[in-house]
Structures are given as structure tokens and as C-alpha cells.
Chain A
Amino acid sequence: MTESRVQTGGGPTVQRMLVGARLRRLRTELGLSREEAAQAIRASEWKIHRLENGQVGFKERDMVDLLALYQVRDPSEVADFLTLAREANTPGWWQHYGDVLPQWFRTYVDLESAAALIRTYEGQFVPGLLQTDDYMRAVVHGAHLDQTAEEVGRRVRLRMARQTLLTREQPPRLWAVIDEAALRRPVGGPEVMRGQLERLIEATKLPNITLQILPFTTGAHPAMFGSFSVLRFADQQLPDVVYLEHLTSALYLARRDEVERYLDVMELLCVDSEPPARTVELLTGFLNELEHW
């Protein structure tokens, strides 16, 4: 069991998904229904559904009963399971930022730090993982969130903390498609935007970062409904998760049929976008145009 434990800062959400996925596999391998499993822990079918999807934490007693039902008898295997379940109930590093970090976004930070591959399409601004400090302040300011300087400062520090995942050991791969619109809008004014474009050119030099630009010339494209990300985890049992952000909440999709609709769109976007080898040339072009401001 230990060999497939999430290796880097998985945080509770992903650990719960992992434990849940294993429980589901054990149950289905024995041909047991959710209802039968529910009886063993004196709970509803719905509870089993939520446990298996990693949506709730685990009680040790429930785990012990379920493992007995699933014929997991090897003591070391049971102990491994319980350790994993306990870890799944402990808070992630981002808890320090609780006051500027709404609950719905905590889950994202958690998933992001566990992903092996982050694919994202951004239509409006530069993806958060690649924003400069100044660009981000301008975005926060532009959003009129009415925050104190202190709150903005913490928000920016959180963003910077998130960005370190791209340069950690065994970093995830970021494969981003950025709309030309996001690169031409001078967020924070030409000076801030210049710094941001230069930052993107730097980012393309990292071996784990792929940037593609979706040009205006593409015309209508399959992601005009908005920005989205697809997170993929190294563990084969974990499904891809789609993340959609709204003003006051976010949506996570892990149902395979839904995720695959978004993956399909992502594939089409990547094919329609300029190949990665052209990105620096295009960014340099946008930089030169800023000179005329």
C-alpha cells in the first residue's frame, strides 16, 4: 500500500480520494452493493457514496468494520489503511491562510499540490501559477474585493507559496493554454504587463512548463464558455478532476463522463493553439507592442 501513497504534500482532499477509491475497489471486487457496505457501518448508502468519493473524513471504527467486511485481514495492511485514513483527516499547509482562503479554494490548493499534471485554459488572465506579484495585486485590485492592504498581502503571499510547487523536487508539469486576449490586456498598466510577459518567457525555459497561445485568428473555439483546469494525479486509481471557478464558489467535477467532455475540449484547444515552440516569439511580439503605449 505505501508505495502508491501520494508522495508530495497531497493534503487531506487527495488522501481522502485515494482511501475512498481503494474502498470502492475492495467493495466492487467482492461484488458488494453500497447498501450492504452501509449496513456494516450502520449508515446510509449515501454515506458510502460520499466516503468512496473522498467527500468526508473517516472514522476509525467505520474503517475497521469496512475492512473486515472487505476481507482485508493482514494486520499490516489494515494498519496502513488506518494511517492513510488518519493522514486524510489532518489539515494541509494552506490552513495558515484560512482567512483569505475560502473553503472552496482550499480544496483546489490541496488538489493542485498533489497533481502530477495540471492542464489549464485561461481566457481572461495569466494563470495564477505564473503571475508576478504586481500582476496579481492588480488583479486583486481590479476585482474590487475591498480588502485591506494586509489581506491583499496575505493573498499574494499565498499565491507565491502555491507557485513554489513548480520549482520543488519532482514538480508537476504545467501545460497551459493562454488566450491571446489575456496576454494583450495590460493588467496593472504597461509596466506591470511587461514584467508579466517577461516572467512568462522565463517560465517557458523550465522543463516542466509548456505554454501554448490560443490566437485571435482561431476565431470561435470550444472553450468560449470560460476558463477551466484539469488536474491529473500519478496514482492510477485517482480520476482526473476538472476545476471551474466562479465569483463566490468553485465546481469540481470528477465524474468520468463529465471530466471527459472537458478533456475533449482541452484536446481541441491544444490542437488549435500555436505549438509551444512558437510561444516565446509570440510573447516577444506582445512585449514589443507594449512599447507603443
Chain B
Amino acid sequence: MADDWTTSINTSVPNPARIYDYFLGGKDNFPADRDVAEQLLAIAPVAREVVEDNRAFLRRAVRVLTREAEIRQFIDLGSGLPTQGNVHEIAQAVAPDARVVYVDNDAMVVTHSRALLAGDNTVAIQADLREPDVILGHPEVRELIDFDQPVALLCMAILHFIPDDQNPFAIVARFRDALRAGSYLAISHGTRDVPVRSDMSEAEMAEMGARVERLYQLTTASLVTRTRAQVERFFDGFELLDPGVVEIQRWRPEDWSSMPGGFYGGVGRKRPAGSLRA
């Protein structure tokens, strides 16, 4: 409604959430989205698998956070269109009392999330992750999330839509500072680093990455890939769980058949205040 960040939707402009929906076999995409998605596949034929791998990484990360870290509160930034295996479904399968806030800046995404995901222990809010204080102070967030308890912040395939001049590292640090020690951060992020098992040269990967980035300039959000070191920088103040920041297919895999590459992923635990930075 009118108090939201933006109320407009335009299905004729390609939109990353709907492109992602197309790759996952969803039906909530429009010709403009499919057009860009097909061009992406022409440049990077593995794009569809990488998107599926990203969902699988999300699933494993949320399970580890719920089971091993006993996290019961999640904030999913840039949650995207509802699909199979949404965060609250994964978490509540382990811990029925798990609470989830879905955050997205896209009106269509939030409308779908409110209609299809919201329940007793989930809310969906429309906000932009570039405004951490708006999210952290949002009444619906404050009602559901107890910031005196640990929280897991999920940034899945979203930080690569924040270019450096919009201070992505400062944004993540702001969220970190609002969370108590023992909270978690999980990230997946597009990269043009050469995959560990690949016959592609650095120049070929760089060229592919550049073409993907150019294509995303046609959409409502431009894309910026980052190196492993840059993705690690987001975890400043966090202790990385094993195996660190790695290709998402290699983060505690359940099967080893997926070809690595495309996205980095990692999960970190916030250090107690006053502890030395690594």
C-alpha cells in the first residue's frame, strides 16, 4: 500500500526476481524476463544449474543454522518470489517455532510473499537492504524478532546487486552491529573467478562475467561479480564456519555431482564484542 517503499510494478522491464523464477521453472515470469534469461543462458549455459545450486546452498545453510547453531530467527534479505523450499519451510521442518522475516524491495515479490508465505511465524516486508535502519527498526520486524537473541541474516544472491559505490560492506557491517554475538551471516554471491575444476581461462571467465554484467544492466538491478577475497570481506567481525568461503557447490555438499563455480558462499558466526579481528 501507499506507505510502502514503492508501489509500482512493471512486467515489461526485466526483473532479477522473475528471471530467477524462470530458471527455477516457475510460472511468474514475463516475456521481458525470459528474453534476458535466454540471453544469459546463451552466454553462460550453466546459469540455470548455478541458480538451482544456489537454492540447494540456501537449503543446506538454513538446515545447519537451525540444527547445529540452533538459530530460531531468520531475516532473509532479497528473498525473491516464493518457490519450493522457502526459508521458513526449511527451518520449521527442523524447528517448528522458527521465525522468518522476508525482505524485498520489489512490490510484486512482497505481494506474493504476503499472500503465499505469511503465517503465524513469518512476515514479509517491503524494504531496501541499502537502508538497514529502516529494516532493523521496522515495526513488523521488531514484533517478530527478538534482537536480544541470536539472529541469522541471509544474503542469498543479493549483495551482487549492490555496487561498491553504494557501500555494500558498510551496509552488512551495520546489520552486524545490530545483531548480538552468536548471530550468523550467510552469503552467496556471483563471481567471475575461475572455478576450481574448469578448463576455462581467466580471460574467458572475465569475458563471460563482463557480458553477464552488461546484460543485467537491462534489468531493474545491475549486477557486480566479486572475487573470493571481496566476498570474505563481508564476514568482517564473523568467524567463518568450515569450509569458509568456497564455491557454493562445495559448501558442505550433500552430493558431489554439481560442477563448482559461478557463486561463492559462506556462513559466519558473529564474534563476541571486544574480540580481536581475524
- Please list the residues of chain A having a beta carbon within 8 angstroms of any beta carbon in chain B: 173, 175, 207, 210, 212, 232, 236, 240, 257, 260, 263-264, 267-268, 270-272, 274-277
Question: Assuming A274-B1, A275-B1, is B114 touching A267 (CB within 8 A)?
Answer: no
- Inter-chain CA distance A207–B88, complex, in Å, is 14
Given known pairs A232-B27, A236-B25, A260-B31, the reply for A277 and B118 (CB within 8 Å) is yes
Query: B26: nearest residue on chain A (CB-CB)?
Result: A236
Inter-subunit contact A270/B115 (CB<8 Å): yes
Q: How far is the CA of A48 from the CA of B112 in the complex (A)?
A: 37
List, sorted by A's number, 7 A–B pairs whose CB atoms are closer than 8 Å. Answer: A212-B115, A260-B11, A263-B28, A267-B11, A271-B107, A271-B108, A276-B114
Complex contacts, B119 vs chain A, CB 8 Å: 207
Indicate if the CB atoms of B31 and A210 lie closer than 8 Å: no
Residue on A nearest B6 in the bound complex, by CB: A271
Within 8 A of A (CB), among B157-199: none
A-contact bits for B1-32, CB 8 A (1 contact / 0 none):
10000010101000000000000010110110
Q: How far is the CA of A257 from the CA of B34 in the complex (A)?
A: 13
Contact A173 B1 (CB under 8 A): no
Q: How far is the CB of B33 from chain A (nearest CB, A)?
A: 11
Least CB distance from B195 to A in Å reads 29
B173 CB → nearest A CB, Å: 32
Closest to B120 in A: A207
Tell whether A264 pairs with B1 under 8 Å between CB atoms, given A175-B116, A271-B7, A277-B114.
no
A-chain residues with CB within 8 Å of residue B116 when the two chains form the complex: 173, 175, 210
CA distance A268 to B107 in the complex (A): 9
Contact A271 B9 (CB under 8 A): yes
Cα A277 to Cα B122 in complex, Å, equals 12
Q: Which B residues are in CB contact (< 8 Å) with A276?
A: 114-115, 118
B30 CB → nearest A CB, Å: 6
- Set of chain A residues within 8 Å of B30, measured between Cβ atoms: 260, 263-264
From residue 111 to 163 of chain B, which have CB atoms closer than 8 A to chain A? Answer: 111-112, 114-116, 118-119
Closest 8 pairs (CB-CB, A-B): A210-B115, A270-B111, A264-B11, A271-B107, A271-B111, A275-B114, A175-B115, A267-B108
**Alpha-carbon distance between A163 and B4 when the two chains are bound, in angstroms:** 35
Which of B7, B107, B115, B119 lies at the interface centre, i.e. has the most chain A CB atoms within 10 A of its CB? B115
Query: If the complex has contacts A271-B7, A271-B108, are A240 and B27 also in contact, measured as CB distance less than 8 A?
Result: yes
Given contacts A264-B11, A271-B111, A275-B111, 13 further A-B contacts (CB under 8 A): A173-B116, A175-B115, A207-B119, A240-B27, A260-B11, A267-B11, A270-B112, A271-B7, A274-B1, A275-B1, A276-B114, A276-B118, A277-B114
**Neighbour of A268 across the interface among B9, B25, B114, B118, CB < 8 A:** B9
* Most B Cβ at <10 Å: residue of A212, A236, A268: A268
Q: What is the CB-to-nearest-CB distance from B140 to chain A, in angstroms, rounded to a whole number?
A: 9
In angstroms, Cα B25 to Cα A175, docked, is 21
- Pairwise interchain contact B27-A267, C-beta atoms closer than 8 A: no
**Considering the chains assembled together, what is the distance between the CA atoms of A265 and B57 in angstroms?**
34
| Alpha-carbon distance A173/B30, docked complex (angstroms) | 22
Cβ contacts under 8 Å, B115 to chain A? 175, 210, 212, 270, 276
Residues of B within 8 A of A268 (CB): 9
Nearest CB of chain B from residue A73's CB, rounded to whole Å: 28
Closest to B124 in A: A275
Q: Least Cβ distance of A238 to chain B in Å?
A: 9
The complex places the Cα of A271 from the Cα of B28 at a distance, in Å, of 15
With a CB–CB cut-off of 8 A, which chain A residues contact B27? 232, 240
| Chain B residue at smallest Cβ distance from A212 | B115
Nearest B residue to A265, CB-CB: B11
Chain A residues whose CB sits within 8 angstroms of the CB of B111 once the complex forms: 267, 270-271, 275
Q: How far is the CB of B8 from chain A (nearest CB, A)?
A: 8
Q: Is A267 a contact of B31 with CB atoms below 8 Å?
A: no
Report the nearest B residue to A260, measured CB to CB. Answer: B30
- Expressed in whole angstroms, the Cα–Cα distance for A274 and B114 within the complex equals 11
Smallest CB gap from A177: residue in B: B115
What residues on B are CB-neighbors of A264 within 8 Å? 11, 30
Kindly provide the distance from the CB of A54 to the nearest chain B CB, expressed in whole angstroms. 17
Nearest A residue to B107 via CB reads A271
